[in-house]
Structure 1
Amino acid sequence: MNRFLSSATKKIDAKGRVSVPAVFRTVMSRQGIEELYGFQDFVFPAFSLGGPDILDRYEKQIATLDPFSSEAHSMSLLIHGGGSFLKLDGEGRLTITDFIRDYANLQDEVAFVGRSDHFQLWNPSAFEEMQRNAREERMRGAPRPARNGETG
């Protein structure tokens, strides 16, 4: 498995550390990720984490813009001003800094949420609500399943 999939809720200890789910650590190991780049998500109240390539991807996008444009400044503020590098300790734990805690509204638990090439840290109840809303929205837009013997 080379993608961050699934979700798990973990307790934050008294020192502000949380164990990264083993399945996420496995993906990090397979991808050779030793240092994580994290940033405040642009849409959700979550903190996104991935390998340094995620920062490279956004910087390449910024480089295509006029460096004096408001779009380039906005992207830089989001990616550079809203991000930081993080490392896991020897026991696979991540320190939940005040920067992360405040943005994602974390208390004593954090939901780890896989997003394919990166993962996110969410307030567990905010994640549950957002996932429920996404599911309901998807179900409203999805075609009605066929019943016994019906065809589409």
Structure 2
Amino acid sequence: MNRFLSNATKKIDAKGRVSVPAVFRTVLAERNISELYCFQDFIFPAISIGGPDLLDRFERQIDQEDPFSANANSMSLLIHGGGVFTKLDAEGRMMVTDFIRDFTGIEAEVTFVGRADHFQLWEPRTFQEAQAQARQARLGGRAGA
């Protein structure tokens, strides 16, 4: 298994830490990712998390642009200004920082959502609503389909 799949909701402990699901930790280990790049998603109120290769991919896109263009500057604002690095502790937990809480609305629980080459942190109800909307849109609005 080398992709982040599925979703799981976990409680945040009294010290502000949350255990990353074991299946996600397995993918991180298989991909040899120890430092996590976290950024504010471009569309959803979620934090996207992957390895340094995820940041590298965005930076390659920026490098193809004129460095003074609005597009390059906007992308840099999003991936650099809206990104941080973090690590898991020895028990596989990560801190749910103000950076995460302020952007997502997460309070007591976090829903981890697999997105193939990265995963996301969501406020649980917001994720459920977004997933229901995506399903409805995918079905073309057909009731009972």
TM-score (norm 2): 0.96
- CA deviation profile, 1:28-85 (whole Å, cap 9, x unmatched): 0000001100000000000000010000000000000000011111000000000000
CA distance in 2 between partners of 1:50 and 1:141 (Å): 33
Aligned partners of 2:62 and 2:122: how far apart in 1? 26
How big is the alpha-carbon RMSD for the aligned residues of Structure 1 and Structure 2? 1.3
Match for 2:136: what amino acid? E
Match of 2:65 in 1: 65
Partner of 1:99: 99
Secondary structure at the residue paired with 2:53? helix
Q: Radius of gyration: which is bigger?
A: 1
Partner of 2:125: 125
- Structure 2 counterparts to residues 1-152 of structure 1, below 5 A: 1-140=1-140
Structure 1 gaps, min length 5? 146-152
Deviation at 1:141, TM superposition (A): 6.7
Q: Aligned partners of 1:66, 1:30: CA distance in 2, in Å? A: 36
Q: 2:110, 2:135 → 1: CA distance? A: 21
Amino acid at match of 1:20: V
SS, match of residue 29 in structure 2: helix
Instruction: Give the Cα–Cα distance (whole angstroms) in 2 for the partners of residues 19 and 52 of structure 1.
Output: 21
Instruction: Extract structure 1 runs of 4+ deviating beyond 3 A.
Output: none
Distance 1:54 1:141 in 2: 34
**What amino acid maps onto 1:120 in structure 2?**
Q
Aligned to 2:139, the other structure's residue is in SS state: helix
Query: What is the rounded CA distance, in whole Å, between the counterparts of 2:81 and 2:8 in structure 1?
Result: 28
Q: Alignment partner of 1:140: what SS?
A: coil
* Equivalent position SS for 2:43: coil
Percent identity over paired residues: 67
Unaligned runs of 5+ in 2: none
Q: How many residues are paired up? A: 144
